[in-house]
A and B are shown apart, each in its own frame.
Chain A
Amino acid sequence: MRNSWLVAAFVAFATIYPTAVFSDYHLFQATMVLVYGVAILGMAILVGFNGQISLGHGAFYAIGAYTTAILMASWNVPYWVTIPISAVVCAGFGFLIGLPALRLAGHYLALTTFALAVAIPQILKHRWFEDWTGGVQGLVIDKPDAPFGLKLSSDQWLYLFTMFVAVLMYLFAWNLTRGRIGRAMRAIRDQATAAEAMGINLAMVKTRTFAVSAMYTGVAGSLGAIAVAFVAPDSFSVFLSITLFVGLCAGGAASIGGTLVGAVFIEFVPNLADKVSKAAPGAVYGVILIAMLFLMPVGAGGFLAGIWRKIVGQRAG
């Protein structure tokens, strides 16, 4: 009970303080942290809780981003309406990808999803879809202004809007992973044969979890497209999938809170690395990543949860 009040207080602070104090550029960065957080949360549900590896979640991010961009650019759909539509579209794609995933285990699944991530920028550039996707040029969309005549810059408003969606997504994920379905997901991850003997329909849970995971990352793509106000095929290269995977590992695969740490990592560490060494930012990035995994082998989520347990445990004991 006390924990949920603390989380609520943290969310309130994280909503109000940056909106009031941050510059537009820093607010944009904070928005992107939330966006990546939701994207990594989608991966955590699939990889961390259900044990299905995906190296191709950048594809779902791209599909979500393009769904929003096309709806806004071609049909003038309001930006907030595109979010639920994108959720449904991405869940559908996720379900379809999840079907062959049933027959593929471990690294075979990783490679198959990786292939999807390799293919998606080229599919987006293809001339068959050019009328919708804008081809190599991509699509420019309008940054939404604050509604109801609120005196907020569009970056401030976007941060609040993204925060609202992200809080909902995290809340749903928290509930989902802690209940009957979450237990079924984790049971399949740990011991599929026993899970089946306990009455869990493996095929059903795995495909639906894939759909939920794709939905999360897709919604993140939509939020990201709105925040950046632009989509282009080369923003969604294979590297995006790998980056999301790095964020997942940095945060700790089966940790809900850890996804935010992972998001902070992938948003800020490349910039940091760039500041440290203009010549070889990749090397610095690598060193930071290895140092982080060395210090926190179970990811930041597991690391922080361990500290939290110690503090609470000492007080209780």
Chain B
Amino acid sequence: MSQTQPLLRVTGVKMRFGGVVALGGVSFDVGQRQICGLIGPNGSGKTTMFNCISGIYRHVEGDIVFEGRSLNNVPRHDMAGIGLGRTFQNVALFRYMSVRDNILVGAHNTAKSGYIANALRLPSVRREQDAAEKRLYELLDMLDLRQVENTPAGAIPFGWQKRVEMARALMTNPKLLMLDEPAAGLNHSEVDELAGLMTRIRDELSLSILLVEHHMSLVMRVSDKVVALEFGLKIADGTPEEVRNEPEVIRAYLGEPEEESAHAGVA
């Protein structure tokens, strides 16, 4: 099917909450350096899928393979280390910590120093800190966050908080950046900036992006491929152009044309 191994391969993933089937066996791939949009109406299972990949939920059936390695039993705190960075739907920042410290937390998995080394502030700790700060400043510039560096993350505007979250996820050095509704709550011009930012991140840091998003025009604009879900099942998978024209997707978003057709039948 593909010439190289995909970065992420999701195969037949099922997830239930009590009696409710949230995912009924979903399969798709995310390729290297690809931006993959995951779309679907409310309750279609997008965020559930997202949380299965990052281990917050444990799917009951199916397989999620990242770089040839199954994620099924990987502890959540190891996800960052193997290359999965993520943001959260409702922004999950460390509110009382400065923007700077928020982003530096993303470097946790790239360093090793422990309690004693930190308490004594050994040279190895300083080296880690210097390396982390160098990347911190690159990201602060890339995401235009310099001026709020020392402000508590809870005290800056929502749109800025989303960028802090993205910087924090990038600080983990991900191979796959997972963004959960990054455009939610942003105004028109901010969405435009976000689109440019995502392609820049992909190109400059050469990583893949999995994007869960409601904002259709954004998804269609930036994605290399789009996967559409409805009621926990995949209804389309292809280029933005293909998915846009898929009758199932049109139906899911615009509703059944059955009333009109019924009327037409009567007439």
Using a CB–CB cutoff of 8 Å, the interface residues on chain A facing chain B are 172-173, 175-176, 179-184, 186-187, 189-191, 193-202, 208, 212, 254
Q: Which of B97, B109, B125 is in CB contact (< 8 Å) with A199? A: B109
B115, A197: Cβ atoms closer than 8 Å: no
Let me know if B14 is at the binding interface, CB within 8 A. Answer: no
Q: Can you list 20 residue pairs at the A/B interface with Cβ under 8 Å?
A: A172-B120, A175-B118, A175-B119, A175-B120, A176-B115, A176-B118, A181-B115, A182-B118, A190-B95, A193-B56, A194-B88, A195-B105, A197-B54, A197-B76, A197-B80, A198-B172, A199-B81, A199-B172, A200-B77, A201-B75
B93, A194: Cβ atoms closer than 8 Å: yes
- For A176, what are the chain B residues with a Cβ–Cβ distance below 8 Å? 115, 118-119
B106 nearest CB neighbor, chain A only: A198
Distance (Å) between the CB of A179 and the closest chain B CB?
A: 4
Indicate the member of B76, B81, B86 with the most A CB atoms within 10 Å: B76
Let me know if B114 is at the binding interface, CB within 8 A. Answer: yes
B84 nearest CB neighbor, chain A only: A197
Distance (Å) between the CB of A29 and the closest chain B CB?
A: 29
Given known contacts A190-B96, A195-B105, A180 and B77 CB-to-CB distance under 8 angstroms: no
B95, A191: Cβ atoms closer than 8 Å: yes
Cα–Cα, bound, A181→B108 (Å): 8
Using a CB–CB cutoff of 8 Å, the interface residues on chain B facing chain A are 54, 56, 75-81, 85-86, 88, 92-97, 101, 104-109, 111, 113-115, 118-121, 125, 128-129, 168, 172
11 additional A-B residue pairs with CB within 8 Å, beyond A172-B120, A197-B80: A175-B118, A176-B115, A176-B118, A179-B113, A180-B107, A181-B118, A183-B105, A193-B56, A194-B92, A198-B105, A198-B109
Cα–Cα, bound, A190→B85 (Å): 19
B105, A200: Cβ atoms closer than 8 Å: yes
Given known contacts A186-B94, A186-B97, A181 and B105 CB-to-CB distance under 8 angstroms: no
Distance (Å) between the CB of A55 and the closest chain B CB?
A: 22
A181 nearest CB neighbor, chain B only: B118
A197 nearest CB neighbor, chain B only: B86
B78 nearest CB neighbor, chain A only: A199
Cα–Cα, bound, A287→B85 (Å): 50
- For A173, what are the chain B residues with a Cβ–Cβ distance below 8 Å? 119
